[in-house]
Amino acid sequence: MSSLRTVRKISAFFWRDLAIARGYRGALVLETLEALFGVATYYYLSRFVQSPELARELPVGSSYFAFALVGFAFFDYLSVSIGAFDASLEEAHQNRTLEALLVTQTPLPVILAGSALYPFAALALRTCVYLAWGVLLFGFAPQSANWLGAVAILLASILAFAGLGVMSASYQILFKRGNPAKWVVLGVSGLVGGMMYPITVLPRPLQLLARIIPVTYSLEGMRAALLSGAGWREIWPSVAALLIFAAILLPLSFALFGWALRRTKITGTLTHI
């Protein structure tokens, strides 16, 4: 009964956000065009940097454009998903709905999860738009892609990234703005995660650093599934690594969030902007 209620509440958040997004149809069109500009930039960059040395480092049968497109699309997924939870808190602060939500019979973790559902779904759609532009206009050809494998990587990535997102929200609830933890995670992930180049080009210490952040496994698995059409055997290590990250980060992040929530109720700053 209570889990059914939770599902209903989370779906209420989704329909709320969808209804609000329908009020901004122009933004949806502009975001689709923005994705086109991003994809086009990587296409022309790839034409410029194509070389035999680079080709040796890329997954078998893929081009730099395909490599960078997948990196760009899924790094975007990481950055928005890390920010989704604290963005939902910040938005509730700004439109002054947080207090009204907190006195309802819905616990804050459900409010947080519900508020992040629509951004995650919209983000998945945006990633599809990136890939679609690549296919339609720039010769990105994922004919041999293992789509089920890609979905498995995506779901495991969402769980791992959600842990980081809830940690980021804990910072947000305590200190309200200027979240350095988010930028450190994104900065390190952008540098060593393999968004624009394979991690094999990095010095050894940075390669080791790359092995302890989830985005590396997310990008490796996604490229293997989409670009090389890898089977479950090749994808499984990435899925397992992401699930281990999720198993560590999710309980840790919820414990941290619970502590942060209690502290702000003690300091009286829960609804401060």
Partner 1 sequence: MSSPAIAVEALEKYFPPALSGWRAFVQPVARPTELALAGVSFTVGRGEAVALVGPNGAGKSTLLRILATLIIPTRGRAMLAGFDVERDAARARSQFGYHTGGDEGFYGRLSGRQNLAFFAAMNNITGADAKACIARVAEWMGICEELDRQVRTYSTGMTHRLGLARALLHSPSILLLDEPTRSLDPLAAADFRCQLKEELVRRRGTSLLFASHSLSEVEEIADRVVLIEAGRILACDTPRGLCASTGMATFESAIKQLARHPVPSEALQ
- Of 98, 154, 192, 215, the one binding partner 1 by CB under 8 A: 98
Q: Is 200 in the site for partner 1 (CB under 8 A)?
A: no
What six digits make up the tokens of 232?
A: 């479950």
- Of 8, 25, 204, 233, the one binding partner 1 by CB under 8 A: 8
- Of 47, 96, 177, 211, the one binding partner 1 by CB under 8 A: 96
What six digits make up the tokens of 238?
A: 């990435």
Cα(48)–Cα(117) distance, integer angstroms: 39
Q: Is 265 in the site for partner 1 (CB under 8 A)?
A: yes
What is residue 211's DSSP assignment? T
Reduced to 3 states (helix: H, G, I; strand: E, B; else coil), residue 5 is helix
Least Cα distance to 64 among 46, 87, 82, 84 occurs for: 46
Beta strands in the chain (DSSP E): none
Give the range of 41-49, 89-97, 235-243, 245-253 binding partner 1 by CB under 8 A.
Answer: 89-97
Reduced to 3 states (helix: H, G, I; strand: E, B; else coil), residue 263 is helix
Question: What does the H/E/C string look like for 10-33?
Answer: HHHHHHHHHHHHHCCHHHHHHHHH
Give the range of 59-67, 73-81, 124-132, 257-265 binding partner 1 by CB under 8 A.
Answer: 257-265
Burial class (CB in 10 A: 0-12, 13-18, 19+), 254: middle
Q: Is 127 in the site for partner 1 (CB under 8 A)?
A: no
Say if CB 152 and CB 235 are below 8 A apart.
Answer: yes
Q: Rounded to the nearest whole angstrom, what is the least distance from the CB of residue 106 to partner 1 in the complex?
A: 4
Q: Rounded to the nearest whole angstrom, what is the least distance from the CB of residue 104 to partner 1 in the complex?
A: 4
Restricting to residues 99-118, name those near partner 1 by CB under 8 A. Answer: 99-107
- Of 20, 49, 55, 121, the one binding partner 1 by CB under 8 A: 20
Q: Is 3 in the site for partner 1 (CB under 8 A)?
A: no
Cα(1)–Cα(90) distance, integer angstroms: 31
Give the range of 153-161, 202-210, 218-226, 263-271 binding partner 1 by CB under 8 A.
Answer: 263-271
Q: Is 60 in the site for partner 1 (CB under 8 A)?
A: no
Residue ranges that bind partner 1, judged by CB under 8 A: 5, 8-9, 12, 16, 19-20, 23-24, 95-107, 174-175, 260, 262-271
